[in-house]
Amino acid sequence: MALRLTLPQARQIAVRAQLLDRGRPEHIVDVVRQLTLLQIDPTAAVAPNADLVLWSRIGASYRPEELKRELEEERSLFELDALIRPMEDLPLFLAGMAAFPVRERTREWLHANDRFRVDVLARLRDAGPLRSRNIPDTCVVPWASTGWTNNRNVTQLLEILVLRGEVAIARREGRERFFDLAERVYPAGVAPLPLEEARRIRDERRLRSLGIARTKAPEQPIEPVHVGQAGEDAVVDGVPGSWRVDPEAIGVPFEGGRTALLSPFDRLIYDRVRAQALFGFEYVLEMYKPAAQRRWGYFALPILSGDRLVGKLDALADRKRGVLTVHAVHEDVPFSTAIRDDVERELDDLATWLGLTR
């Protein structure tokens, strides 16, 4: 029999699972372990996504150089397919790496360029870590695409070899990635889990990080938003659809929420259908729209208050001028004085953390 949840209960489970309730975590690795991932996105209208997500959880004590250290020196985290994950989760992905690529076209291109692959691995073994532009292009058959990857043979091969587990991203300098042999980045002796077991555990980990999720959803390009059969069946009063809930989250008291400014890529709102169903929150990332067609702003930050998503912040960090400009605060619901004061404090904290004048 399905568990029955009230709408506030479902929202509170989701907020607590994403570490956005009153208590703040202290350590980066603990945050990534619970969230399972940080998405890397180059947009920095306010701050890069990974940094915004960590700031919204840890607070102003978080420093971006700490994330860099965990990735490049401590090796407690690793980057794969534009996502940062805990290194302890590597076995969950190794089996999928061994089976990559699954698309026939990619397999054929890789087979035709096997000599190219050997050349790149040898170059990395001798001189890595290297940027893609420091690796000679010796391909036999160029990569064909109607998009920006057309004839970008070195970059395309490196992407494939990372997803195959032969190459790994050793570090970044700004937006540039440095590639090296996976054996010099990943810990030695890590064995893959069987593929089906790994998928089951990943579903369970994803549900634990979301608290409550849709049973089924269309495939997403970055990370699924559905969790399969993980957890337990649930229904949410007044909300259609089939849901799965983390059983460990049931009955855990919600010890108060707080106000937080979220990244547009934050996992609390990443599944727009779930955000609409549970929070009544409509959101579209408008950076790709002409300015005249935007309702909320180029890179509007969702505003969380307690267990409700209450609005969007349209702000821009001008680092050359040293200013954080607030264009608008859009209220989805009328703000109380307390909410307005909390948002003001978060804005001040954001400006201080960025080292900018508001």
The span from the CA of 40 to the CA of 50, in Å, is: 6
Longest alpha-carbon distance in the chain: 66
Question: How far, in Å, CA of 192 to CA of 345, rounded?
Answer: 46
Q: What is the pLDDT of residue 306?
A: 96
**Looking at the predicted structure, is the pLDDT value of residue 151 above 90?**
no
Q: Is residue 82 scored above 90 in pLDDT? A: yes
Judge whether residue 256 has pLDDT over 90.
no
Q: Please provide the average confidence, as pLDDT, over all residues in the chain.
A: 95
Locate 336 and state its tokens: 């109380």
Q: What is the mean pLDDT of residues 40-56?
A: 95
- Which residue in 305, 324, 297, 310 sits closest to 260, CA to CA? 305
3-state SS string for the chain: CCEEECHHHHHHHHHHHCCCECCCCCCHHHHHHHHCCEECCCCCCCCCHHHHHHHHHHCCCCCHHHHHHHHHCCCCEEEECCEEEEHHHCHHHHHHHHCCCCCHHHHHHHHHCHHHHHHHHHHHHHHCCECHHHCCCCCCCCCCCCCCCCCCHHHHHHHHHHHHCCEEEEEEECCEEEEEEHHHCCCCCCCCCCHHHHHHHHHHHHHHHHCEEECCCCCCCCCCCCCCCCCEEEEECCEEEEEEECHHHCCCCCCCECEEECCCCCHHHHCHHHHHHHHCCCCCCCCCCCHHHCCCCCCCEEEEECCEEEEEEEEEEECCCCEEEEEEEEECCCCCHHHHHHHHHHHHHHHHHHCCEC
Q: What is the pLDDT of residues 117-149, one digit of tens each?
A: 999 999 999 998 999 999 999 999 999 887 888
Task: Name the burial class of residue 256, with classes exposed (0-12), middle (13-18) and buried (19+) by CB atoms within 10 angstroms of its CB.
Answer: exposed
Q: pLDDT tens digit string along 194-252?
A: 999 999 999 999 999 999 999 888 888 789 999 999 999 999 999 998 899 999 999 99
Segment 293-305 mean pLDDT: 97
Axis-axis angle for helices 104-112, 114-127 (nearest 10): 70
Tell me how far apart the alpha carbons of residues 2 and 190 are, in angstroms, rounded to a whole number. Answer: 38
Q: Of all residues in the chain, what percent carry a pLDDT higher than 90? A: 89
| Weakest mean pLDDT among 181-190, 210-219, 347-356 | 210-219
> What are the structure tokens assigned to 342, written together?
């909390």
* Predicted pLDDT of residue 157: 97
Confidence check: pLDDT of 1 > 90: no
pLDDT of 178: 98
Examine the pLDDT at 166 and tell me if it is beyond 90.
yes
Give residue 222's pLDDT. Answer: 81
| Distance in angstroms (rounded) separating the CA atoms of residues 105 and 324 | 47
pLDDT number for residue 286 = 95
Q: Going by DSSP bridges, is the β-strand pair 232-236/3-5 parallel, antiparallel, or unpaired?
A: parallel
From CA 32, how far away is CA 34, in angstroms rounded? 5
In this model, does residue 53 exceed pLDDT 90? yes
Does residue 312 surpass a pLDDT of 90?
yes
Predicted confidence at residue 185, as pLDDT, reads 98
Residue 85 confidence (pLDDT): 98
pTM value?
A: 0.95
